[in-house]
Structure 1
Amino acid sequence: MRALLLESVHPDAAAILRSAGADVETLDRALGERELIDALAGVQMLGIRSKTEVTESVLDEAPDLLAVGAFCIGTNQVALGAAAERGIAVFNAPFSNTRSVVELALAEIIALTRRLTVKNAGMHAGLWDKSAQAAHEVRGRSLGIIGYGNIGAQLSVLAEALGMSVYFFDTADKLAMGNARRCATLDDLLAIADVVTLHVDGRAGNSGMFGEEQFALMRPGSIFLNLSRGFVVDHHALRAHIESGHLAGAAVDVFPTEPASRGEEFNSELRSLPNVILTPHIGGSTEEAQQDIGRYVAGKLRDYLHDGGTAMSVNLPHLALPIRPGRHRVAHLHRNVPGVLAKINSLLAEHKVNIEGQLLDTRGELGYVLTDIAVDHPPALLDSLAAMPETVRVRNLA
């Protein structure tokens, strides 16, 4: 097996895959479409972060590819449907960097509320400005969280521990943590929050969700944070509300257009604004988070290739069936139509193969079956399974 890991994935990921017998190549940067297609020749496992786009065109020209690991939370950079149609499993790390993002958000809330950026700039310029004007405690202030997933919920708990009153808005039904209160509408949240922070996902429907209309509804003197996706915020409108004094400050970690690699020039209309914190998409970039992500996603890739396990896959049905010594396993991904399991088992019977263990799960238009057999399969069995019109992909795993 060959693996290609891009964008400085943590070294532990490569170590895990190598220990599983893979030949691993690593690169410290993202690859463009044509470059990625060329690099994927003969590669079964691809590891990326947020910059590499795995498009349908890439997948069309990567027949050897079996799995993609997104060593991050988001997977909008991967054509998930196209990957599923080709039998390519996609995994991510939905929890591993949650704490790191939450801690950065809390640090920025405190820094902006105390106007530390302004005081710091003044000191470096030689200005001693000892004053309490416009500096506040976060205790007693209201925090509005837009997007109450893993990050939003954990931020809710820690902010409440600091003495903040927490409100949240989410389009899905979410259980409130602690004393957090759900807002029926986004407008309701904006009207009450001293600090507004975005933690929404990368779905296309969130593009441009926060612009002039939403900034105008925020309370005078409030603070805005975006540590989610760059394309959800209108930066021109944000700049206007900072310059007018309507907003007291902002922190932005993600941008509509970001440099492809470390060291490239960064351009944004938010540069040079007072009491605005700009960070280079580092919400989850702590050594602890990156190590945990590297280990988690690499483990998912290893398991999928060795035993067919798809637990926590973002695009395939979820199955986990422990391998027992002395058994052989066949994995069958297929169109989710009636009668497929019966056909599979009929073919096994025709080839005089007894089933020792079997699991089936479905997800949308796909079904997935793991079948354990006591003896190595006859050579013609895989050909028969592959020839079924419903088959997407069939693999001999052990």
Structure 2
Amino acid sequence: MKRKMMIDQAKVRVLLLESIHPDAVIRLEEDGFEVESVSTALDEPELIERISGVHLLGIRSKTKVTAKVLETADSLLAVGAFCIGTDQIDLTAATAAGVAVFNAPFSNTRSVVELAIAEIIAMTRRLTEKNALMHEGVWDKSADGAHEIRGRRLGIVGYGNIGTQLSVLAENLGMSVSFYDTADKLALSNAHRCATMDELLETSDIVTLHVDGRPGNAGFFGAEQFAKMKPGSLFLNLSRGIVIDHLALRDALKSGHLAGAGVDVFPSEPKGRGDEFLSELRGLPNVILTPHIGGSTEEAQSDIGGFVATKLAKFVVDGNTTLSVNLPGVALPEQPGQHRIIHVHRNTPGVLAQVNRILAEHDVNVEGQLLSTRGEYGYLITDIGGGYHEQIVDQLRSMPQTVRLRVLS
């Protein structure tokens, strides 16, 4: 479906789900947008019912933006993932519709890392068990099974933004660090790159996962991987719930092969606060369960709210796609007194020439222009001086390669 859009900025509608930080609301309202906030996630039928007429959608990790949702979204310009991951969004369908997707790849990194460090220390010192006994009135002052983290080896699976910062902080606390990543990553400080994940599992005292939720990662860590971990080692997953087999983890914990685990993410999570949480890991005394709060600090959520909201607002106002997850990155400086044409198109030869020929036929001068492509799609920004005829817009929209056309004044 081809879409031609000229939007009155004061009539831009924004729908924010899952209790997105108030800083996002403030930032978007500064540009005159109409913002509606919902505290919970919406499932597909609910979102389909609400998405019509919405120009900007903000979500966190629980709301799924599917192809059906995008097909129903008659006005949607962009989706903001107020988190790191974007696997909850059908990026292929979004790109095909010319809908930009933005996320916050760095804003909550420190918060996730600090939670990982806290859980490592808590499990290594057996704080969960000591705490439970104290609440039962039992005084168990003993050093049995309690250790310092200094000198222990941390194995990090996934050496991205979070993995690398965790690596640095862990070394500062006296730990040795190994990591495994399918991509070629530079080791920071004294971290050791493992040639295989098996090498990491067999040599680490603590294994922590920091991988994304792409379909290929679903269930990649199960009984076979837990069996290869050192007896008495610890396991953490603060990445995505689908990447591990929770029944296999429960078996490894109950058998005593693993001494403890910290889990923040789950294959199926409640939609809102207060809803019942179900898991095979409930009731195990050597497991720390947290409700997907790795990035849930006031500092991180404030940073995320401001960062993603700014990306969304600027995309509406100037069309620039810097740091877009799915569209080619284009940033053309604004020049006063000009009109800006945004052209999302299928990446075939001759599109730029065709656009410029249409403009030239109507004696329209190009004042600035920038094109970038990514895979099957291209993103073109063209600034023109003076006025323009609707006939120009109609011709550009009628090009067979056109996916979406926007005109910004």
Distance 2:114 2:147 in 1: 19
Q: 1:173 aligns with which of 174, 181, 184?
A: 184
Q: Does 1:332 align with 2:343?
A: yes
What corresponds to 1:18 in structure 2?
29
Name segments (4+ residues, structure 1) moved above 2 Å. none
Q: What is the DSSP-based 3-state SS (H/G/I as helix, E as strand, rest coil) of the residue aligned with 2:207?
A: strand
Distance 1:39 1:227 in 2: 31
Q: Deviations over 1:169-202 (max 9, x none)?
A: 0000111111101000010000100000000001
Q: Deviations over 1:147-173 (max 9, x none)?
A: 000000000000000010000000001
What corresponds to 1:237 in structure 2?
248
Distance 1:109 1:35 in 2: 39
Counterpart residue identity of residue 197, structure 1:
T
Distance 1:205 1:37 in 2: 27
Q: 2:151 aligns with which of 140, 145, 150?
A: 140
What corresponds to 1:320 in structure 2?
331
Q: Report how far residue 376 of structure 1 moved.
A: 2.8
Q: What is the DSSP-based 3-state SS (H/G/I as helix, E as strand, rest coil) of the residue aligned with 1:332?
A: strand
Q: 1:304 aligns with which of 297, 307, 315?
A: 315
Q: 2:66 aligns with which of 55, 70, 86?
A: 55
Q: What is the DSSP-based 3-state SS (H/G/I as helix, E as strand, rest coil) of the residue aligned with 1:224?
A: strand
Q: Report how far residue 244 of structure 1 moved.
A: 1.2
Q: What is the DSSP-based 3-state SS (H/G/I as helix, E as strand, rest coil) of the residue aligned with 1:268?
A: coil
Q: Deviations over 1:328-387 (max 9, x none)?
A: 111111110110000000011011110111100000000111011111322211111000
Q: 2:224 aligns with which of 205, 213, 238?
A: 213
Distance 1:278 1:34 in 2: 30
Distance 2:161 2:362 in 1: 48
What corresponds to 1:111 in structure 2?
122
Distance 2:388 2:58 in 1: 32
Equivalent runs, 1:78-89 vs 2, <5 Å: 78-89=89-100
Q: 1:154 aligns with which of 139, 161, 165?
A: 165
Distance 2:249 2:132 in 1: 21
Between the two proteins, the alignment pairs up a number of residues equal to 398
Counterpart residue identity of residue 345, structure 1:
N
What corresponds to 2:39 in structure 1?
28
Q: Does 1:122 align with 2:133?
A: yes
What corresponds to 1:266 in structure 2?
277
Distance 1:33 1:249 in 2: 36
Q: Deviations over 1:98-142 (max 9, x none)?
A: 000000000000000000001111111111111111100000000
Counterpart residue identity of residue 82, structure 2:
F
Counterpart residue identity of residue 231, structure 2:
P
Q: Deviations over 1:300-338 (max 9, x none)?
A: 111111100101111100011121211211111111011
Distance 1:39 1:261 in 2: 18
Distance 1:248 1:84 in 2: 45
Percent identity over paired residues: 67
Q: Deviations over 1:240-287 (max 9, x none)?
A: 111111111100000111111110011111111112100000000000
Q: Deviations over 1:14-66 (max 9, x none)?
A: 11111112111110011111211121111110001111111101111111111
What corresponds to 1:2 in structure 2?
13
Q: What is the DSSP-based 3-state SS (H/G/I as helix, E as strand, rest coil) of the residue aligned with 2:65?
A: coil
Distance 1:392 1:90 in 2: 16
Q: Does 1:64 align with 2:60?
A: no
Counterpart residue identity of residue 327, structure 1:
Q
Distance 1:150 1:377 in 2: 45
Q: After the TM superposition, which of the residue ranges 105-114 and 368-377 deviates more from structure 2?
A: 368-377
Counterpart residue identity of residue 273, structure 1:
L
Q: What is the DSSP-based 3-state SS (H/G/I as helix, E as strand, rest coil) of the residue aligned with 1:285?
A: coil
What corresponds to 1:201 in structure 2?
212
Q: Deviations over 1:207-241 (max 9, x none)?
A: 11111100100001100000001011111111111
Counterpart residue identity of residue 169, structure 2:
L
Q: What is the DSSP-based 3-state SS (H/G/I as helix, E as strand, rest coil) of the residue aligned with 1:266?
A: coil
TM-score normalised by length of structure 1: 0.99
Q: 2:298 aligns with which of 280, 287, 295?
A: 287
Backbone CA RMSD of aligned residues: 0.7
Q: What is the DSSP-based 3-state SS (H/G/I as helix, E as strand, rest coil) of the residue aligned with 1:311?
A: coil
Counterpart residue identity of residue 109, structure 1:
I
TM-score normalised by length of structure 2: 0.96
Counterpart residue identity of residue 386, structure 1:
R
Q: 1:383 aligns with which of 394, 397, 406?
A: 394
What corresponds to 1:187 in structure 2?
198
Distance 2:387 2:194 in 1: 58
